């Protein structure tokens, strides 16, 4: 009787992977899409978890998330007030643009954690194909 009011993704292994998920959600979603990426990749430094994403990177992530189809955009682990302020500023100045390619996303935000999206829908990575007979 009641369905979801939206679809989304948060946290994960980086903003690039999160936006790949948002692109997939946007292909078939008829509801709002939510994107809440980490402020970088977590690293253990001097006994504490540190996230290396700068406010500038998070601002770019926010703009790319909007271009990928997200309508609710925020941050997850490591996101601080300075990140949110930069994201807000970037989105206040957002102009409609083409949906970014995976190449554009990885160039702006860093590489993907794997060659595939984990669905099994695409080609296998080269390292798997090499061991198979033709």
Question: 32 in a domain, yes or no?
Answer: yes
Question: 118 in a domain, yes or no?
Answer: yes
Residue 123 has what pLDDT?
Answer: 54
Q: Angle at which helices 81-92 and 55-68 pack, to 10 degrees?
A: 50
Question: 89 in a domain, yes or no?
Answer: yes
CATH number for position 117: 3.20.20.330
Question: 1 in a domain, yes or no?
Answer: no
Which pTM value belongs to this model? 0.82
Percentage of the chain with pLDDT > 70? 85
Question: 51 in a domain, yes or no?
Answer: yes
| Model confidence band, residue 9 (pLDDT cutoffs 50, 70, 90) | very high
Going from the C-alpha of 107 to that of each of 15, 57, 99, 121, 127, the distances in angstroms are 12, 11, 14, 23, 23
Question: 102 in a domain, yes or no?
Answer: yes
Number of domains in the chain: 1
Residue 119 has what pLDDT?
Answer: 52
From CA 14, how far away is CA 111, in angstroms rounded?
A: 9
Residue 105 has what pLDDT?
Answer: 95
pLDDT at 72 over 70: yes
Question: 13 in a domain, yes or no?
Answer: yes
Domain of residue 22 covers 7-129
Q: What is the pLDDT of residues 92-110, one digit of tens each?
A: 999 999 999 999 999 999 8
Residue 128 has what pLDDT?
Answer: 46
pLDDT at 130 over 50: no
Tell me the pLDDT of the chain averaged across its residues: 87
């Amino acid at each position: 009787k009641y369905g979801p009011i939206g679809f989304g993704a948060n946290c994960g292994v980086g903003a690039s992977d999160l936006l790949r998920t948002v692109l997939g959600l946007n292909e078939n979603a008829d509801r709002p899409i939510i994107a809440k990426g980490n402020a970088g990749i977590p690293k253990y430094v001097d006994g504490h978890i540190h996230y290396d994403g700068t406010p500038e990177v998070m601002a770019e992530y926010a703009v790319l998330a909007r271009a990928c189809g997200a309508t609710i955009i925020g941050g997850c682990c490591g996101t601080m007030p300075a990140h949110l302020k930069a994201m807000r500023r970037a989105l206040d100045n957002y102009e409609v643009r083409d949906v970014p390619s995976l190449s554009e996303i990885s160039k702006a935000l860093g590489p993907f954690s794997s060659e595939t999206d984990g669905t099994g829908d695409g080609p296998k990575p080269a390292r798997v194909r090499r061991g198979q007979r033709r």
